[in-house]
């Protein structure tokens, strides 16, 4: 179902009731959940239109060290490069020279945003870096900042610890 201008607002009480039904059916208390089959997120891969600009933004502004820059095994001439985002996790990028991949778009099954946890003092410094770099951003709840990366992906830096969201345990 797509919404167009002029559509009535969704029935939020019905949506909350459906969320409650799903929560009751699917969400197990933390002590009753099985262990995950995964070890963690190895990397999330995004697409870059300009390798050097992407490196300057993520390493220079966000202070995520570049850890590797290699050829993409699946597309000769394409680069595959990685940034350390802490806790043995990586943020990766591909470029696809010669392909017209088009601008960033949020679509069903696509990326809404990437949320990266940072220490509170570092969070404040990175928000100041965004200011200095002229990157448009929005601060929420004094622990979360959203902005668009150079190719349009929405990034969130959040000062909450891993497994916590705005003071609530989510893990």
Q: What is the pLDDT of residue 73?
A: 87
User: Strands 43-47 and 90-94, how do they pair?
Assistant: parallel
Q: What is the pLDDT of residue 1?
A: 43
Q: What is the pLDDT of residue 6?
A: 61
Q: Rounded to an integer, what distance in angstroms lies between the CA atom of residue 139 and that of residue 171?
A: 24
**Per-residue pLDDT reduced to its tens digit, 11-42:** 999 999 999 999 999 999 888 999 888 777 88
- Degrees, nearest 5: CA angle 164-21-166: 15
Residues in the chain with pLDDT values less than 70 = 1-7
CA distances from 20 to 52, 109, 164 (A): 46, 23, 21
Q: What is the pLDDT of residue 4?
A: 55
Domain boundaries, the chain: 43-96+112-169
Q: What is the pLDDT of residue 3?
A: 53
| Nearest residue to 153 (alpha-carbon basis) of 99, 119, 127, 116 | 116
For the question of whether the overall pTM of this predicted structure is more than 0.85, the answer is: no
Class of domain 43-96+112-169: alpha beta
């Amino acid at each position: 179902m797509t919404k167009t201008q002029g559509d009535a607002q969704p029935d939020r009480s019905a949506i909350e009731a459906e969320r409650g039904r799903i929560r009751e059916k699917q969400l197990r208390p933390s002590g009753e959940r099985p262990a995950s089959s995964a070890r963690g997120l190895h990397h999330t891969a995004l697409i870059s239109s300009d390798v050097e600009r992407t490196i300057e933004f993520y390493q220079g502004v966000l202070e995520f060290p570049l850890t590797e820059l290699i050829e993409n095994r699946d597309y000769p001439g394409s680069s595959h490069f990685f940034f350390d985002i802490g806790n043995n996790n990586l943020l990766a990028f591909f470029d696809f020279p010669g392909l017209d991949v088009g601008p960033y778009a949020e679509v069903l099954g696509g990326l809404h945003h990437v949320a990266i946890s940072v220490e509170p003092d570092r969070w404040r410094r990175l928000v100041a870096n965004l200011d200095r770099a002229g990157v448009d951003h929005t601060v929420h709840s004094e622990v979360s900042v959203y902005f668009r990366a150079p190719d349009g992906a929405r990034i969130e830096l959040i000062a909450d610890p891993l497994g916590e969201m705005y003071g609530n345990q989510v893990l």
